[in-house]
Structure 1
Amino acid sequence: MPSLVEVQSLSKSFALLAQSPDAARTFKALDEVSFTMTRPERIGLIGPSGSGKSTLLRSLSGLILGDAGSGPVIVLGRTVQMDGRLGADVRAARADLGMVAQQFNLVGRLSLFTNAALGLLGRIPPLRGLFGLWTPEEKQRVMRALDTVGIADKASQRAKTLSGGQQQRGAIARAIVQDARLILADEPVASLDPVTARKVMELLVHLNEDRGVGVIVTLHQVDYAMKYCDRILALKDGKIVYDGPADGLNPDRLSEIYGPEIEQAYWRDPS
């Protein structure tokens, strides 16, 4: 059985603004990053601001392309990108990838039900998806997903009328409807209060443990990463400086990773 994720020597450079072409410089957001996910795990990506966490996560779906000569990035047995170019199988890979972002990425004018049902796109004929012609079985699937995340009673409400926590759970419901095998979550709790954030993280744990869904999540909160993830990838200056179990990170190691930012890396949720 192929690995869920395989990343080999991935680098990504961004051009920096300069006052003149002769002074043009680049910033290396990722520097020869390699890792594999051989089974459904909960991987927490941590590190100081600008360490490359979000760049790495977005590279897994092909939203960001690596530098020429780097890669490949293989997800669910399909090549998403290699040598700075999208792979031929990227669309097939994305069909099995659930995306959860800090800004929720729901369509505000649409109902929560419709937003969750959008997880069916790519698995049904395009015309049915365009006009929202869901079958009775598909409607039941959507409602079961909303019930799983605890907001089935909000199904008819427009997404923009929901709280941030409800919208984030709606995004997770969409991934359930999609039947995603791997969820990529980019700072999913950054805009939430600690209590709501805890509920969202518990949902991701549920999907991993009860449904066998792999989860890779970027987090600024080290304590949340260590509590809810079983494996930690720590990045610093675009390089992986720690890859191991959450309980293998001690205060001294974390101080080395974060430096002066260490005090801001904790949410310190009292629960």
Structure 2
Amino acid sequence: MPSLVDVQSLSKSFALKAPGEAPTRHFKALDDVSFTLNRPQRVGLIGPSGSGKSTLLRSLSGLIVADEGSGPITVMGRTVQADGRLGAEVRSARADLGMIAQQFNLVGRLSLFTNVALGLLGRIPPVRGLFGLWTAEEKQRVMQALDTVGIADKASQRAKTLSGGQQQRGAIARAIVQDARLLLADEPVASLDPVTARKVMELLVHLNEERGVGVIVTLHQVDYAMKYCDRILALKDGKIVYDGPSDGLSADRLTEIYGPEIEQAYWRDPS
């Protein structure tokens, strides 16, 4: 059985230049990153700002193409990209990838129901999706997903009228409807209050434990990563500096990753 995710020798550089000028140098956001996800774990991506977390997540879905010479990225046995080029199977791989972003990525003028139903687009004829011609079974799936995340009563509201937490739960419901096998979440709780953030993280745990969905989530909140994730990938300067269980992150290891200021920023003793 193929790995859920397999990343080999991934590097990504960005050209740095002033407007209207030729690039003066290159910044290496990812530097020879490799890891494998053999089963649906909850993986927390942590590390200082600029360490490459979001670049790694976007590379997994093919939204960012890696440097030439980078090894392959495969998702459920399908090649997303290799050697600086997207793979022929990238679209089929994306059909099994759910994406959740800090900005929620819902269409504000559309109802919550319609936004969640858009998770079906990769699995139904395009014309039906374009005109919102959902079957009775599909409508039931959407409402069941909304009920799972606790906002079925908001189905008819326009997305822009919902709170941030409700919109984020809507994005999770969309991934449920999509029947995603792997969920990529980029700072999903960064703009939420602590109570709502915990509810969103608990929903990610539910998807993993009850539905067998793999979760890879970038977090600035180290305490959330340690509480809600069973595996931690820590990045620093584009390299993986820790890959192991969440309970293996000692205070000394966190200081190596973030610097001594982590002791003041961290809300509890991480040892």
For the superposition of Structure 1 and Structure 2, which TM-score range results when normalised by the shorter chain?
over 0.9
- Aligned counterpart, 2:218: 218
Take 1:19 and 1:101, find their aligned partners in 2: how far apart are those partners?
28
Instruction: Give the residue type in structure 2 aligned to 1:109.
Output: R
Task: Say if 2:16 and 2:23, in contact at 8 Å, map to a contact too.
Answer: no
Runs of 4+ in 1 over 6 A off after TM superposition: 19-23
Q: Does 1:160 align with 2:160?
A: yes
- Aligned counterpart, 2:169: 169
- Aligned counterpart, 1:119: 119
1:17 positional shift: 1.6
1:266 positional shift: 3.6
Take 1:198 and 1:74, find their aligned partners in 2: how far apart are those partners?
31
CA RMSD in angstroms comes to 1.5
1:259 positional shift: 1.1
Deviation string 1:187-218 (CA, Å, 9 cap, x unpaired) is 00001000000000000000000000000000
Instruction: Give the residue type in structure 2 aligned to 1:68.
Output: E
Instruction: Give the residue type in structure 1 aligned to 2:67.
Output: D
Going from structure 1 to structure 2, the CA distance change for 1:216 and 1:164 (only over 3 Å counts) comes to same
Mark the runs of 5 or more structure 2 residues left unpaired by the alignment. none
Going from structure 1 to structure 2, the CA distance change for 1:171 and 1:251 (only over 3 Å counts) comes to same
Task: Say if 2:52 and 2:238, in contact at 8 Å, map to a contact too.
Answer: yes
Identity of paired residues, percent?
Answer: 87
Going from structure 1 to structure 2, the CA distance change for 1:250 and 1:95 (only over 3 Å counts) comes to same
Take 1:255 and 1:193, find their aligned partners in 2: how far apart are those partners?
26
Partner SS, residue 191 of structure 2: coil
Q: Map 1:56-67 to 2 at 5 A.
A: 56-67=56-67
Instruction: Give the residue type in structure 2 aligned to 1:224.
Output: Y
Deviation string 1:199-254 (CA, Å, 9 cap, x unpaired) is 00000000000000000000000000000000000000000000000000000100
Q: Map 1:222-233 to 2 at 5 A.
A: 222-233=222-233
Instruction: Give the residue type in structure 1 aligned to 2:206.
Output: H
Going from structure 1 to structure 2, the CA distance change for 1:267 and 1:156 (only over 3 Å counts) comes to farther
Q: Does 1:190 align with 2:216?
A: no
- Aligned counterpart, 1:140: 140
Instruction: Give the residue type in structure 1 aligned to 2:90.
Output: V
Partner SS, residue 110 of structure 2: coil
Partner SS, residue 121 of structure 1: helix
Partner SS, residue 67 of structure 2: coil
Take 1:155 and 1:22, find their aligned partners in 2: how far apart are those partners?
50
Task: Say if 1:99 and 1:185, in contact at 8 Å, map to a contact too.
Answer: yes
Going from structure 1 to structure 2, the CA distance change for 1:134 and 1:247 (only over 3 Å counts) comes to same
Take 1:23 and 1:123, find their aligned partners in 2: how far apart are those partners?
42
Q: Does 1:47 align with 2:51?
A: no
Q: Map 1:239-254 to 2 at 5 A.
A: 239-254=239-254
Partner SS, residue 122 of structure 1: helix
Task: Say if 2:46 and 2:234, in contact at 8 Å, map to a contact too.
Answer: yes
Task: Say if 1:222 and 1:265, in contact at 8 Å, map to a contact too.
Answer: no
Task: Say if 2:15 and 2:23, in contact at 8 Å, map to a contact too.
Answer: no
- Aligned counterpart, 1:88: 88
1:261 positional shift: 4.9
The size of the alignment, in residue pairs, is 268
Take 1:7 and 1:122, find their aligned partners in 2: how far apart are those partners?
24
Take 2:7 and 2:21, find their aligned partners in 1: how far apart are those partners?
33
1:267 positional shift: 5.7
- Aligned counterpart, 1:73: 73
- Aligned counterpart, 1:38: 38
Take 1:33 and 1:264, find their aligned partners in 2: how far apart are those partners?
30
Take 1:162 and 1:19, find their aligned partners in 2: how far apart are those partners?
38
Take 1:180 and 1:266, find their aligned partners in 2: how far apart are those partners?
33
Take 2:207 and 2:253, find their aligned partners in 1: how far apart are those partners?
30
Going from structure 1 to structure 2, the CA distance change for 1:243 and 1:126 (only over 3 Å counts) comes to same
TM-score, structure 1 length as denominator? 0.96
Mark the runs of 5 or more structure 1 residues left unpaired by the alignment. none
Take 1:261 and 1:136, find their aligned partners in 2: how far apart are those partners?
55
